[in-house]
Structure 1
Amino acid sequence: MTPARFEEIAARFERFSRARPRLYRWTLGLLGAAGLGFVAFWLLLAGGLLALLVVGMAARPNAALLKLGIPLAILAWSLLKATWVRFERPEGIALSREDAPAAWAELDRLRRLGNLPRIHRLLVDDRLNAAMAQTPRLGILGWPHNDVLVGMPLLLALGPDTFRAVLAHELGHLSGRHGRMGARVHRVRATLRQAVEALAARNSRLTGVFRAFLDWYGPWFQAASFALARQQEREADRFSAAATDARTAADALVASALAGWALEERYDPALRRRPAFEPAAPEGHLAWMEETLRAAGTDEEAPQALARALKARATAGDTHPSLAERLEALGQEPRVPPAPRRSAASAFLGPCQRRVQTELESRWRASVAEAWERAHQDGKRDAGRLAELDARAGAAPLDVDEACERVALVERMHGSAEALPLALESAARHPDHALARFQLGRLLLRRQDAAGLPHLDRAMALDEGATLPAAQLIAGYHLAEGRTADAAPWIERVRSIEAAEAVAEAERAQVRAGDLVEPHGLGREDVEKFAAALRGHPRVKKAWLARKKLVHFPERARVYVVGVTRRGAWYRLESSGAQAKLAQELADVLGLARVFVMVDGAGARPMIKKLRKVGERIV
C-alpha cells in the first residue's frame, strides 16, 4: 500500500468515526474478526489437510504425499505461532497504598466517579508520560490486569490540579471498554504482523497466496483502526474535564506540551553537552530536570512554543488529535498555565518521592555509564580540535571543510545558537558547498525560520545525498507550522527515498548464484590488497575478483565478489557447512566491507563460472 493510499483510508475512517462513532466501532470489530477469521480458516484448512496426509502416509507411504505435506506443515506451524500474541506488562517502580496514599486516594476517587474497574498497580518511571495499560492475563480469554504508569518528569512538571486532569484522562481509557477494544485491535495487528514475518522466508506458492492477502489487509486494517485511537482520546479528554473542570483539563494539555518542549529544547541539549566536561554521569539529574520543567511556563520563548504547538495538525497516521483540536473540543482558549506553587510529585508521592527519585537516578546512571564515558573521551577530543580550529580561524579564513567541521563542533559543544553565526559565515564564503548550505538551513529551521528553506533547496541541488535529510527537515517544518498540505509532498518524497534506499540496501546485503557480475574497476594498488590477503592462505588455490552488477544506485557503495577454488580434490566431500565456514574465514581475512567470498562447491559453481569469465584472476 502506498503512503498516499494509507492516508486516504485513515482519513475516510476518521470522518466515519466522527459521524457515526458507535457504528464505526462495530464496523472495526467486524473487520478485525474478518482478518482473524482468515488466519483461522487457513490454519484449520492446513491442519485438516495435514491430518489427511498423515493418515494417507500411514496407510501407504508415498514420497509425493510427503513432499506436499512439508509446506502444509510449515504453513500450519507458522500460523499457529502467529495467533499467540503476548501482551507485556509495563515496567516501573511499583508504589503500594502505604507508599503513596494520596495518589491511591485520587485513583479511588476517579474510579468511583467513572464506575471504573479495579486498578492493580501504580508504577513510576523516568519518562515524560502517563499511560493506562490493560494486559489480558489469559490472552485471548481476557481478564485484564490494570496498571497506571506515570513518569516522574511529568509529576515534577505539573501541579496537583493539572496532574489530576492527566490522571483522569488515563483512567478515562477504562471507561467505554477502551482497553478491551484497544487490546482487540492490538491483537489483530500483532497476529497479522507475526503471520507475515513467519511466512516472509517462505517462497512457495501456498504461502505466497496467503502473504499476498496479509500484505494488503494488514496496512488497510491498521489505517482503518487509527480513528479508534483518536475517538478514545477525545472521550478520555471529556472524562478528564468532568473529573476536574474544562479549564484545568485544557491547562494540563498545554502544560504537558510545554514540558515536552522544555525537555527537547532546554534540558536535552544541555545534557548532551555535559559529557564533554564531566567524566561521569552526574547525580541529581532529576532535580536539575525539575528546574527546567518548572521554568517552562515562564520561559520567554514559551508563548512562541505554544503557538507552534497549536499550529501543528495531526496527520492521518497520528493516534492523537492535535492540541488545537483537543482544546477546541473542551471549549477552552489556549493559554500558558500559571506556574504551580507545588509539584504533583510532592503532593501525591509525599515522603516516598525522594526514594523513588533516588532509585530512578541510580538506574539512569547505570544505564548511561558506558556511553557517558565514551562521550567524555569524544568531548575532550572535540574540545582540542575546536581550540585548534578557533586559533586557525583567528589567523586566516578556514577552508570549507574546516569551516563546516567548526560549525558542527560548536553546535555539539555549545548549542545551536552559538553555531548559527558561524554557519552564516561559512555559507556566505562557500555558497556552492552542499554541507555549508545544509548546516545553515538546518539551524535556521530549528528556530522555525523559513529563511532556511532556500538553503536546503540549494543543498539538495548540489548533492543528491542531502535530499533525504533535507526533505525530512522541510516536512517537519511545515507540519510544525500546521501546513499539512505543504508537508505532504515532502513526506511522500521521504517515504519514496527511504523505500528506494531499503531496496538498494537489500540488493547489497547478499550475493546469490544468479546475480550478474562485471569487471571490478579497481586500481592496481587496491587489487594487490585483495591478492596479498589471499595469497598466503593454505586453502586458496585460485581466486578471481569482480564486482556485483547493481541495479539500484550503482554509482555508490559498490559490492565486490571474490571467487575461490580450494586446494585438493577432496573438498567435494566436505559439507556445505565447511564450505560456508571457509567463505566466512576468507571474508574475515580480507577485512573489508561489501566483499563477498564464494567458495567452490554446491551452490557456488554458477557464480565461480561467471567470475572466471568476467573477473580478474588475482591468485
Structure 2
Amino acid sequence: MSEAIPARAPMRQPIFPKRFFMHDLLKFEKLVFACERLAERNPRAYRIRVFLLATLGFAFIASILLLSAGAGLLLFYDAFAHNHLPVIKFALFPTVIAWLLCRSLLVRIEPPQGFEITRESAPRFFSRIDEARAKLMASPIHRVVVDVGSFNVGVMQVPSFGVFGRPRNHLVIGLPFLEAVTPEELDFVLGHELGHLSGKQTRFRNWIYRIRQAWPRILEALSGGGNFMSGVFTRFLNWYAPYFNAYSFVLARANEYDADRAGAAVVGAAVGAHALLASDVFHDHLQNEFWPALFREAGADSEPPSDSFTRSLLALRRISPAEIEASMRRVLARRTSLADTHPCVADRLQALGETPRPPALLQRSAGELLLGELRESLVAEANSKWSSAIREQWSLARERHQKLAERVSEYSGSVDALDESGLLDYAALIEEAEGREQARPLVEAALSRQPDHAPSLFMRGRLRLADGDHDGVLDIERAMELSPDAREPGARILASYFLDRRDIERGLRYVETVQEADQRRSAAEAERSNVLPTDDFIDHGLGAAELERLRATLADLPVASVWLVGRRLKLSPGLANYVAVVAYARSLRPTQDQLNAILNAMPEDGFKIVTIADPKGAVTRKIAAMEGALVYGKARDFRSWSDIVRDEAANWSRRAFGSVRQHPAKAAGALAAVLLLAGYAQFRHDPRARFAYATLLIDLGAAGAAEAQLNILLGDDGGLDDNRFPDMESRARLTFAELLVSRSRDREAWAIAVPACRWRMPDALKARREALGFCSRH
C-alpha cells in the first residue's frame, strides 16, 4: 500500500551482497548452525573468530588506503627529488584510488528523519528514558524522533565523521507503536533498545552489534560510486559478507535475547512478554483487517478519509476477542528466520520464561500519557500524511471496487446455478470486495461439488496460509499436481512460506521451480525482443482489409518501403509475432510517434516489432528477399554485389547440376563453373570477391578449398588492411571459425575467433559471435 501505512520492517537484517542468490541460503544456514555449535562447545574460540572477521573488513580498507597513499607519495617524491617528471603520471593512479576511498568513507550519513521531541516538549517521555538508562548503565540518547508512519522502535547510531568517529545515538519511535502499547510496555521496549547500548555484561556483543550496523553504511558508500574502487569492494563483499554475517549472526541473535532481558530488568518479564505479543498482534490486525476494510470504503467515497490514523487507534480499542485470537494464531505461527536477527515472538517469549496470553484491550496508550500537548499535533500530522499518502491507492481502489460491484451484481440471484469455475470466480470477487472470511464458504461449496478442482484447491490453500493454517500447503501442493498452470504461482507462495519459517531445504525446492520459470520467461522475452537472421520468418497472413488499413497509415508517413513478415517463436509457439522493416525516404530519422503509428496500424493481436532498414544488415536482406513481404512502396535489393554473385552462382550451379548431396560426382562440374570468379579473386586481390568465393565453396561442400581461400584472405596479402572494407575481417573470421567448428576443430576455431571478441560489429555479426561461445570463455 502506501509508505505512510504502518510497517514493521526488520531493522537489523543480515548483510548480504547484491549477488547473494537463493541457492546460497542452504549453505548460509549450515554455516550459521556450525557457528551455533561452535559457540556452545567453545565460546572463547568462537569469539576470537568473530573478532578476527570483524577486524578483517576494516583491515582490508585500511591496507588499500595505506598502500595506495604510500605508493602515490613515494612516486611523487621520486619524481620531484630526482627530477623524473614522467613518473608523475604513474603516481596519479594510486593517488586517485586513495582519494576515491577517502571520499567514500567521509560521505555524510543522514540522521533519521521525523518529528524531533525534546525534554522541554515531552518531559515524561524523557524521564522514562532516564530511568531505563540508569538501571542498565547505557549510553545516552542524543536525539529522539517520532515517525508518524512507522510501527517500530529502533536505535540508529550515526557516526560524527563519515562512517567512523564517535557515534550519536538516535532513538526512532513510531507514533502508531506509541499508540498501540501501554506506558509499562513502552518501558520494556525502551529497555530493549537501550540494552543494545549498554556495557553491562554484553560489551563484546554490543560491539559486534554496532559493527553490523556500520557495515551496511560502509558498503553502500564504497560500492555505490560506479568507479574502479566500487568493483574492487563489490568483489570483496561477495566473499566477505556471507562469512561475517554467518559468524556474527549467532552473536547478533543472542544480542536480541540480551536486549529482551535488559527490557525485562526494567519492568519485569511478564510485562515484556505482553509487550512483545501485544505489539505484534495489533500490528497484524492493522495490516490484515483494518487497512483492507478501510480501502473497501473507496467504493462509496471518492476521497480518502482525513482521519485514517485516528480510525486506526479506534480499531485497536474495539478489536474483538475473535480477531485477537486470529491475529495471535498468525503471529505465533511465525518461525525464526535467517532473514532477520530478531527471533520470532514465540521464541522470545520462551526465552523470557513466559507463556503467550491474549493481550488486553488498550485503555490508555503510552502516547496519551507521555506526549502531553504534542500528541494532538502529532495525530493531526499523521492524519494529514496518511491521507495524502494513500490518495493514489484510494483512487485505484475506487475504480477497482466499482468494477467489482458491477461484476458482483451480475452474479446476484444466480449463485446456486454456478458451476465450480463460476463459484470460484465469484469467490475471488467477494474476497477482494469483502474479505477472506466471506469468500471461504464459496470456495468450500466449489470443492464439495468437485473435490479435485485444482483452482479451488489453490485458492483454499492460499486463504489457509494467509490465516496461518499449515494445511494450506497440502491444498496448494495438490493443486500443483493436478494443474501445470498452478505450479509457478504455487511454488512462489510455498517458497516464501517455508523460507519465512526457516525450512530452507524444503523452501529451496520451490525456489528452483520459480527460478526455472523466471529463466524460461526471460529467454522467451529475449527471443521476442531480438530479431536475428536465424529466425524462422513466415508470411504475415494478413487479409486485404488489414493491409489496406496499414497502407493508409503508411501513406501519411515519410516512408519509402515497408516489409512485413510473421515469425515463429520457439519459446512462445502460441503467440503471434510480426516484424516490420521500414525504409525511410531521404535517410530521415524516424520519430517515436511515427514508429508508434506503425505499431498501432499492425494487427492488434500478438507481439510486434518495428525495425529500421539496414542495407548491410542480414535481417533486412533476408526479410526484403521474402516473397510477399513487401506491403508498401517499391521493392529494393539490399544485397551487396558479392552476395548477388554468390547467390546467382549457387542458384545456377544447383539448376545446372542438381543437389550436390544427391549427386556428389557433379560437384567437380559445379566447382569448374566458378573458376572465373576464383581467377578474379586470385589476380585482382579483391577481398570481397575472395570472401564470396570462399562462402560459395562452403555452400557447395568444398570445405578444404574454402579453408584455403579464407587462410589467404586473413593473411598478410589478403587485402583486409585496407579501410575500404569495414567488417570484412569480422565476417571472414566468424565464417572461418564456423567452418572449423563444423569440422570438429574447436581449438583452431577458437584461435581464429578470439581476435574479434572485442571488435565493434553489426548486431547480426554479434549474434553469430555469441553463438560460437568462444568470447565468453576468453
- Bucket of the pairwise TM-score, normalised by the shorter protein: 0.7 to 0.9
CA distance in 2, matches of 1:60, 1:476: 58
- Determine if the alignment matches structure 1 residue 397 to structure 2 residue 418: yes
Which of 117, 124, 145 is 1:95 aligned to? 117
Q: Which residue of 2 aligns with 1:541?
A: 561
Which of 353, 364, 368 is 1:331 aligned to? 353
CA distance in 2, matches of 1:493, 1:27: 34
1:23–1:110 Cα change, 3 Å? farther
3-state SS of 1:363 partner:
helix
Q: Which residue of 2 aligns with 1:310?
A: 332
1:327: Cα distance to partner?
A: 1.8
Alignment of 1:28-427 (within 5 A): 28-35=50-57, 37-38=59-60, 59=86, 87-124=109-146, 125-176=148-199, 181-189=208-216, 191-192=218-219, 214-296=237-319, 299-303=321-325, 305-393=327-415, 396-397=417-418, 400=421, 402-427=422-447
CA distance in 2, matches of 1:83, 1:616: 64
1:473: Cα distance to partner?
A: 3.5
Residues 139-169 of structure 1, C-alpha deviations (whole Å, 9 max, x = no match): 2322322221222222222111111101211
- Determine if the alignment matches structure 1 residue 460 to structure 2 residue 480: yes
Residues 62-120 of structure 1, C-alpha deviations (whole Å, 9 max, x = no match): xxx99xx99x9999998777656663422222222222111111112222222333322
Tell me, yes or no, if the aligned pair for 2:309 and 2:386 is still in contact at 8 Å. Answer: no
Which of 580, 595, 599 is 1:590 aligned to? 599
- Determine if the alignment matches structure 1 residue 599 to structure 2 residue 612: yes
Q: 5+ residue gaps in structure 1?
A: 572-577
When Rg is computed on C-alpha atoms for both structures, the one with the higher figure is: 2
Q: Which amino acid aligns with 1:599?
A: I
CA distance in 1, matches of 2:214, 2:379: 35
Q: Which residue of 2 aligns with 1:519?
A: 537
3-state SS of 1:238 partner:
helix
3-state SS of 1:380 partner:
helix
Q: Which amino acid aligns with 2:215?
A: V
Residues 554-603 of structure 1, C-alpha deviations (whole Å, 9 max, x = no match): 458788655444434x57xxxxxx6xx7579625752689655443569x
Residues 22-66 of structure 1, C-alpha deviations (whole Å, 9 max, x = no match): 76565345335434555666678789999989x9998499xxx99
1:346–1:523 Cα change, 3 Å? farther
Q: Which amino acid aligns with 1:30?
A: L
Residues 490-531 of structure 1, C-alpha deviations (whole Å, 9 max, x = no match): 344136514751674377369568795333686536995888
CA distance in 2, matches of 1:589, 1:188: 52
Q: Which amino acid aligns with 2:457?
A: R
Q: Which amino acid aligns with 2:518?
A: E
Tell me, yes or no, if the aligned pair for 2:39 and 2:46 is still in contact at 8 Å. Answer: yes
Identity of aligned residues (%): 29
Pairwise CA RMSD of aligned residues?
A: 4.5
Q: Bigger relative contact order, structure 1 or 2, given CA contacts below 8 A and separation 6+?
A: 1
3-state SS of 1:175 partner:
coil
CA distance in 1, matches of 2:193, 2:627: 65
Residues 328-362 of structure 1, C-alpha deviations (whole Å, 9 max, x = no match): 22222322244454211111112321221111111
- Determine if the alignment matches structure 1 residue 617 to structure 2 residue 626: no
3-state SS of 1:142 partner:
strand
CA distance in 2, matches of 1:535, 1:611: 21
TM-score for both structures, normalised by structure 1: 0.79
Q: Which amino acid aligns with 1:128?
A: F
1:410: Cα distance to partner?
A: 0.9
How many residues end up aligned between the 2 structures?
Answer: 590
3-state SS of 2:184 partner:
helix
CA distance in 2, matches of 1:515, 1:50: 52
CA distance in 2, matches of 1:15, 1:371: 48
Q: Which residue of 2 aligns with 1:574?
A: none
3-state SS of 1:281 partner:
coil
CA distance in 2, matches of 1:426, 1:420: 10
Which of 490, 498, 509 is 2:507 aligned to? 490
1:234: Cα distance to partner?
A: 1.4
Residues 249-308 of structure 1, C-alpha deviations (whole Å, 9 max, x = no match): 122111122112222332122123121222221133233222332355x62353464355
1:458: Cα distance to partner?
A: 3.8
3-state SS of 1:422 partner:
helix
* Most deviating of 558-567 and 355-364: 558-567
1:378: Cα distance to partner?
A: 2.5
Q: 5+ residue gaps in structure 2?
A: 1-20, 632-778
Q: Which amino acid aligns with 2:211?
A: R
TM-score for both structures, normalised by structure 2: 0.64
Q: Which amino acid aligns with 1:366?
A: S
Tell me, yes or no, if the aligned pair for 2:295 and 2:394 is still in contact at 8 Å. Answer: no
CA distance in 2, matches of 1:215, 1:615: 54
1:290–1:75 Cα change, 3 Å? same
1:94–1:610 Cα change, 3 Å? farther
Q: Which amino acid aligns with 1:519?
A: F
